[in-house]
């Protein structure tokens, strides 16, 4: 696959690998008002980190679902996240309703550092939520907060994966970086965590967490794309170590909020040169295992 290929070529790409489609663990669907707020954030990207960030798939919810279907994304998440207390539970209710009417979407939940978190996370797990999102940067909370200790424990016991944005990209947060979440993993070593964006820009430190803990994975969201390489280049040594972590790397894209085509992510992964078995594991097997996809 070359960098000139576009989204219309994606089905042929995964078919050539002998796959039934793609599993994408890092897709965003949110209530319209929340999604519009996220898009406004990217509209102001020049103010935040000095570069434009045009959202490629800024279309209606139905159109976004249709795009994923045309691409052959057979299973995806609806990652969403609160930025203040009292918001997560209503987001979970919306996500459950969205998954119920969107067959390819895996029921997704989230949480905030608040007293009710353990209760509604337990209820979400019991009602069928199969993956959670924790956004340390946007939430502004400390993942080591004592209010979250029972949440991490519940997720670890259930084996339910949580996609965690804990790296310092694209903007440093109060509790981002590998240190704070690394302490969470030390306290909950069985936690099934997927580190978003491969921990950008601290790739090597987050890869080390995946090497150290049995259930820690890394998602490929934006990793090695020309856009992210302009902000936080992926070191050559990281590429080699990702090759060794074949069973712990899982496809993520950040759809719809990416400033390039969906195909660009697949092109960038293929350019690593780790071979078809690695691509099959990353683009289907690992995500299907984590999300419980047949």
Calculate mean pLDDT across residues 161-187: 96
0.95 surpassed by pTM: yes
Q: What's residue 52's pLDDT?
A: 96
Confidence of residue 49 (pLDDT cuts 50, 70, 90): confident
Superfamily of domain 7-172+188-291 in CATH is Metal-dependent hydrolases (3.20.20.140)
DSSP H helical ranges for 73-112: 88-100
pLDDT reading at 43 higher than 90:
yes
Domain boundaries, the chain: 7-172+188-291
Task: Answer yes or no: are the C-beta atoms of 124 and 115 closer than 8 Å.
Answer: no
Task: Answer yes or no: are the C-beta atoms of 218 and 242 closer than 8 Å.
Answer: yes
Sheet strands (E) in the chain = 22-24, 73-76, 108-110, 131-135, 162-165, 193-195, 216-219, 249-250
Cα gap 24→288, rounded to integer Å: 9
Cβ atoms within 10 A of the Cβ of 284, count?
Answer: 23
Cα gap 222→138, rounded to integer Å: 18
Which two three-digit tokens encode residue 17?
Answer: 């690998």
pLDDT of 59-100, one tens digit each? 999 999 999 999 999 999 999 999 999 999 999 999 999 999
């Amino acid at each position: 696959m070359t960098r000139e290929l576009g989204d219309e070529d994606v089905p042929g790409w995964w078919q050539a690998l002998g796959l039934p489609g793609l599993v994408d663990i890092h897709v965003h669907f949110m209530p319209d008002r929340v999604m519009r707020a996220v898009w406004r954030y990217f509209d102001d990207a020049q103010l935040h980190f000095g570069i434009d960030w045009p959202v490629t798939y800024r279309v209606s919810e139905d159109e976004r679902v249709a795009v994923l279907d045309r691409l052959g994304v057979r299973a995806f998440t609806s990652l969403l996240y609160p930025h203040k207390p009292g918001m997560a539970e209503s987001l979970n209710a919306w996500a459950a309703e969205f998954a119920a009417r969107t067959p390819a979407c895996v029921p997704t939940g989230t949480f905030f550092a608040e007293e009710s978190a353990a209760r509604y996370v337990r209820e979400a797990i019991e009602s069928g939520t199969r993956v959670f999102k924790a956004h340390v940067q946007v939430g502004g909370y400390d993942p080591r907060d004592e209010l979250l200790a029972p949440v991490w424990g519940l997720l670890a016991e259930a084996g339910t994966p949580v996609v965690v944005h804990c790296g310092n990209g694209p903007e440093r947060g109060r509790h981002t970086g590998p240190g704070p979440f690394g302490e969470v993993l030390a306290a909950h070593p069985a936690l099934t965590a997927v580190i978003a964006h491969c921990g950008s820009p601290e790739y090597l430190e987050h890869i080390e967490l995946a090497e150290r803990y049995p259930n820690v994975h890394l998602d490929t969201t934006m990793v090695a794309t020309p856009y992210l390489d302009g902000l936080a280049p992926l070191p050559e040594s990281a590429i080699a170590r990702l090759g060794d972590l074949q069973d712990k790397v899982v496809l993520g894209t950040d759809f719809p909020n990416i400033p390039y085509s969906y195909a660009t992510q697949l092109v960038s992964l293929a350019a690593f040169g780790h071979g078809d078995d690695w691509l099959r594991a990353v683009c289907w097997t690992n995500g299907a295992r984590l999300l419980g996809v047949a």
